[in-house]
Structure 1
Amino acid sequence: MQLTDLAGSLKRHWPVVAVAAVVGLILGVLVSFALPSRYEATASVSVNPMNADPLGASADAARSVSMPTEVSTATSAKVAAAAAKTLADDYSLSAKDVREATHVESPEDSLILDIRFSGGSPEEAADGAEAVADAYLAERQADAQAEITRLTSATQQQIADVQATSVAPEFGGAIAQRTLQLQADALGTRLATLGSIDTTPGQVVGSPEVPRQPSTPGALPLGLAGLFLGLLAGIPLALTKKEENSEIGGVDGLQAIGDQIVLDGTKDTNRADTWDIAAFMLKIPTDIGIEDPFLIMVDAEDQHGRSITPGQELVDALSRRGRSARFVDAGAINEGKISRGWPTDKKRVSWAGEIIIIDTTHLTSDANKVALATRSDSVLLARSTTDDSAALRRLAGLLRSKNVDIALTALFPPRPELMTINR
């Protein structure tokens, strides 16, 4: 299938795409009203490295902190439970609710945690972010203090063991005593160092602000998203929609369009024969007079590559019957001029006493075709069996709305080899 075929299918079935887009738009707007509003607030926490060496380099201290581990701690069940307990007086949030509403990130190469909390109200979002930040700092400090207590207890036990060993008879020698003294000094230094560790876990450097706008998308973005999804769904539907056969088909197809006189030329081997009969069937006055012309509008479905128009074919048929007629191609007339009342009275006077065949095949506007029909004395429609019945039905309906009678509808076969004319 070529791109032109796809474009043609979309053009024919554009209502399918339009309906799908409108449905998507409406659903998107409805979803925006159905979704509960959510608000987000963020607390920024500076993580303090807990260095066992107060005189150590700050770079070493920074490297002692694993930020992925801190992110896991901030989103842990223990922190969520502590935050939920803090929020219990004002909000009915469980530890699971708090954990699901918390999202923590750490900017690259930094000791900052951004704790984002999603709440059902602006105040809940801000209070939740603050509660999680405080619970994280408290948990981190408690863990650090517990580790220092454990290390201090272990060091004190080691010092007691060294002291007990130093009074044993088997360690009474000078070298043994010197070794035990060095161990005791090292353990004493370690004990002093443990007592100097800063257990401050960090601090909140960015307090959460009460959000003014919800974080959930509103009616406009969801509506546009629904519109876009509707288009995505509608285009394939339009492309795969089964093509309905809108061809006229035969005489029955013409009669189904409306009550009209039909000349069936589908069995004729020469179009000229059909046009000769059409010229005979048209009620053209024998004596036209010298004051007015007799106007016959001839319309057919425009077909590219056609060497002669139906209007010219009718002129030739009248000529074979001894009637002279003037051919006028309405497609060569400015359509704005037609809509303003062409042919004018002056033009009609110049045609006085003549049979004028106005061919509207190349006109693009059905409205202008109907306008010319109301200014004509007779209307003849020429169609082939493969022409569009929907387009013909539309034109016939417009003509009926203006009380214009179709004098004759001539039906021709579609085969090119039967479209020759004997002159």
Structure 2
Amino acid sequence: MQLTDLAGSLKRHWPVVAVAAVVGLILGVLVSFALPSRYEATASVSVNPMNADPLGASADAARSVSMPTEVSTATSAKVAAAAAKTLADDYSLSAKDVREATHVESPEDSLILDIRFSGGSPEEAADGAEAVADAYLAERQADAQAEITRLTSATQQQIADVQATSVAPEFAGAIAQRTLQLQADALGTRLATLGSIDTTPGQVVGSPEVPRQPSTPGALPLGLAGLFLGLLAGIPLALTKKEENSEIGGVDGLQAIGDQIVLDGTKDTNRADTWDIAAFMLKIPTDIGIEDPFLIMVDAEEQHGRSITPGQELVDALSRRGRSARFVDAGAINEGKISRGWPTDKKRVSWAGEIIIIDTTHLTSDANKVALATRSDSVLLARSTTDDSAALRRLAGLLRSKNVDIALTALFPPRPELMTINR
């Protein structure tokens, strides 16, 4: 498949692409109206480091905060349930709805959480972001307070154990009593420290604003997206669409392909008559220089059962006009030689002063046909009304891409018609 084939197919089937694009545009606009509008609001929360373990107080407090963990906490089911309970008076949102509408992220190297909430109305979005932020802070404070309560209870139990041990007879010695007193003092200090720890979880540093514009795309972007998707769908559909009529069909079909001159021989009862006119129409110099030959490339679609090729028919027609020509069957030449530059300068010297008809009917490679056309002085195509128009269109496109003009296209009736006429 050549690029010219693709371009030609798109040109012939442009209505398919246009219809697909329009359908995509309409569907995109309809989706914009059918799609419920969503609004987004964002609350920014500053997270306070809290270290509930006094023994670790010397550590960097900022390191006690894992922001990925805080993001998970803010999007947890427990926080969503608390936020849904807060919103229950104004909005019918379940904990699942709140959790699905919440998106939390933290800027790199910061202690800030951006809590974004998507709602069906501007007010719902703003209230939802605020409710989730408050529920997160409350949950974080409750967790911290629960940890302090646990540590306080454990410390108090340890103090009670030390006091009970101090009255035991085996610890009546001065050294043992001094050791127990030091333990009691340390535990008392720890208990006092636990009572003074700040459990403020953080604060909202950016209150959510009521959004003015919906976050969902409108009619214009969805329409353009539908148009683009329609084009993406329409182009391959046009390229794979079968030709309604793969036959040339007549002179109009050839002219639609872009041939410059078409000789209509479909009404001639004898092909020789058409070839006589073709030989007359070709612009062949009267006197051919003695240094170079005059090369004419003749191409046709191969027809089984025909004993004489179009190139030989042109040679015979020139002979009837008193011009001698040499017939060369390109199909008998190694295609590798053609791709490497046949006919060579040596071969052209041997043909000097002659009319050389190079017949490419039996040549399988379109690329080699084009190569020979660029090395020829004139190009003649012979086609019947039943030949494949797509193949001819492809060849014509390749020739145009190499700036090769088709001097003449001779159109003949289909083979069965000729047999009927001859009878």
Does the pair score TM above 0.5? yes
User: In 2 relative to 1, CA 89–345 (structure 1 residues): closer, same or farther, beyond 3 Å?
Assistant: farther
CA shift digits 1:170-194 (9 cap, x unpaired): 1111221122112111111111111
SS at match of 1:43: strand
SS at match of 1:419: helix
CA shift digits 1:371-403 (9 cap, x unpaired): 999999999999962699999999999999999
Displacement of 1:85: 1.3
The number of residue pairs the alignment matches comes to 423
Structure 2 alignment gaps of length 5 or more: none
Instruction: Name the CA distance, whole Å, in 2 between partners of 1:125 and 1:256.
Output: 61
Q: Which moved more, 1:184-193 or 1:41-50?
A: 184-193
SS at match of 1:358: strand
Instruction: Name the CA distance, whole Å, in 2 between partners of 1:378 and 1:52.
Output: 96
Q: Which moved more, 1:296-305 or 1:136-145?
A: 296-305
- Residue aligning to 2:168: 168
Displacement of 1:412: 3.4
CA shift digits 1:18-54 (9 cap, x unpaired): 1111111111110000000000000000011112478
CA shift digits 1:3-31 (9 cap, x unpaired): 22222222221111111111111111100
User: In 2 relative to 1, CA 251–213 (structure 1 residues): closer, same or farther, beyond 3 Å?
Assistant: closer
User: In 2 relative to 1, CA 52–421 (structure 1 residues): closer, same or farther, beyond 3 Å?
Assistant: same
CA shift digits 1:32-84 (9 cap, x unpaired): 00000000000000011112478988971110011111111111111111111
- Normalising to structure 2: TM-score of the pair? 0.63
Instruction: Name the CA distance, whole Å, in 1 between partners of 2:140 and 2:186.
Output: 28
User: In 2 relative to 1, CA 17–196 (structure 1 residues): closer, same or farther, beyond 3 Å?
Assistant: same
Displacement of 1:153: 1.1
Instruction: Name the CA distance, whole Å, in 1 between partners of 2:122 and 2:233.
Output: 37
Q: Which moved more, 1:409-418 or 1:99-108?
A: 409-418
SS at match of 2:41: strand
Whether contact under 8 Å (1:166, 1:177) holds in the other structure is yes
Displacement of 1:317: 14
Calculate the aligned-residue CA RMSD, in Å: 11.6
User: In 2 relative to 1, CA 241–169 (structure 1 residues): closer, same or farther, beyond 3 Å?
Assistant: same
Q: Which moved more, 1:351-360 or 1:264-273?
A: 351-360
Whether contact under 8 Å (1:272, 1:422) holds in the other structure is no
Whether contact under 8 Å (2:51, 2:57) holds in the other structure is no
Whether contact under 8 Å (1:45, 1:203) holds in the other structure is yes
User: In 2 relative to 1, CA 336–53 (structure 1 residues): closer, same or farther, beyond 3 Å?
Assistant: closer
SS at match of 2:157: helix
CA shift digits 1:344-375 (9 cap, x unpaired): 99999999999999999999999999999999
Whether contact under 8 Å (1:54, 1:196) holds in the other structure is no
Instruction: Name the CA distance, whole Å, in 2 between partners of 1:148 and 1:120.
Output: 40
User: In 2 relative to 1, CA 114–239 (structure 1 residues): closer, same or farther, beyond 3 Å?
Assistant: same
Displacement of 1:146: 1.2
Whether contact under 8 Å (1:53, 1:197) holds in the other structure is no
Whether contact under 8 Å (2:21, 2:229) holds in the other structure is yes
Whether contact under 8 Å (1:37, 1:216) holds in the other structure is yes
Whether contact under 8 Å (1:271, 1:419) holds in the other structure is no
SS at match of 2:411: strand
User: In 2 relative to 1, CA 380–63 (structure 1 residues): closer, same or farther, beyond 3 Å?
Assistant: closer
Whether contact under 8 Å (2:311, 2:359) holds in the other structure is yes
Whether contact under 8 Å (1:52, 1:193) holds in the other structure is no
Displacement of 1:233: 1.0
Instruction: Name the CA distance, whole Å, in 2 between partners of 1:3 and 1:285.
Output: 36
Q: Which moved more, 1:399-408 or 1:339-348?
A: 339-348
Q: Which moved more, 1:386-395 or 1:335-344?
A: 335-344
Displacement of 1:97: 1.1
Instruction: Name the CA distance, whole Å, in 1 between partners of 2:16 and 2:81.
Output: 53
Whether contact under 8 Å (2:293, 2:348) holds in the other structure is yes
SS at match of 2:286: coil
Whether contact under 8 Å (1:84, 1:95) holds in the other structure is yes
- Normalising to structure 1: TM-score of the pair? 0.63
Q: Which moved more, 1:42-51 or 1:316-325?
A: 316-325
CA shift digits 1:238-285 (9 cap, x unpaired): 111112325354799999999999999448586673599999999999
- Residue aligning to 1:300: 300
Instruction: Name the CA distance, whole Å, in 1 between partners of 2:65 and 2:376.
Output: 95
SS at match of 1:285: coil
Whether contact under 8 Å (2:54, 2:190) holds in the other structure is no
Question: What is the percentage of aligned positions where both structures have the same residue?
Answer: 100
Whether contact under 8 Å (1:278, 1:410) holds in the other structure is yes
User: In 2 relative to 1, CA 359–50 (structure 1 residues): closer, same or farther, beyond 3 Å?
Assistant: closer
Instruction: Name the CA distance, whole Å, in 1 between partners of 2:405 and 2:2.
Output: 42
Displacement of 1:129: 0.2
User: In 2 relative to 1, CA 25–350 (structure 1 residues): closer, same or farther, beyond 3 Å?
Assistant: farther
SS at match of 2:56: coil
Instruction: Name the CA distance, whole Å, in 1 between partners of 2:37 and 2:201.
Output: 34
Instruction: Name the CA distance, whole Å, in 1 between partners of 2:315 and 2:36.
Output: 74
Instruction: Name the CA distance, whole Å, in 2 between partners of 1:108 and 1:402.
Output: 58
User: In 2 relative to 1, CA 260–200 (structure 1 residues): closer, same or farther, beyond 3 Å?
Assistant: closer
User: In 2 relative to 1, CA 255–127 (structure 1 residues): closer, same or farther, beyond 3 Å?
Assistant: closer
Instruction: Name the CA distance, whole Å, in 1 between partners of 2:283 and 2:187.
Output: 128
- Residue aligning to 1:144: 144
Whether contact under 8 Å (1:271, 1:421) holds in the other structure is no
Instruction: Name the CA distance, whole Å, in 2 between partners of 1:24 and 1:240.
Output: 19
Instruction: Name the CA distance, whole Å, in 2 between partners of 1:45 and 1:260.
Output: 76
Q: Does 1:271 align with 2:271?
A: yes
User: In 2 relative to 1, CA 98–356 (structure 1 residues): closer, same or farther, beyond 3 Å?
Assistant: same
Displacement of 1:122: 0.3
Displacement of 1:109: 1.4
Instruction: Name the CA distance, whole Å, in 2 between partners of 1:207 and 1:14.
Output: 54
Whether contact under 8 Å (2:293, 2:351) holds in the other structure is yes
SS at match of 1:175: helix
SS at match of 1:55: helix
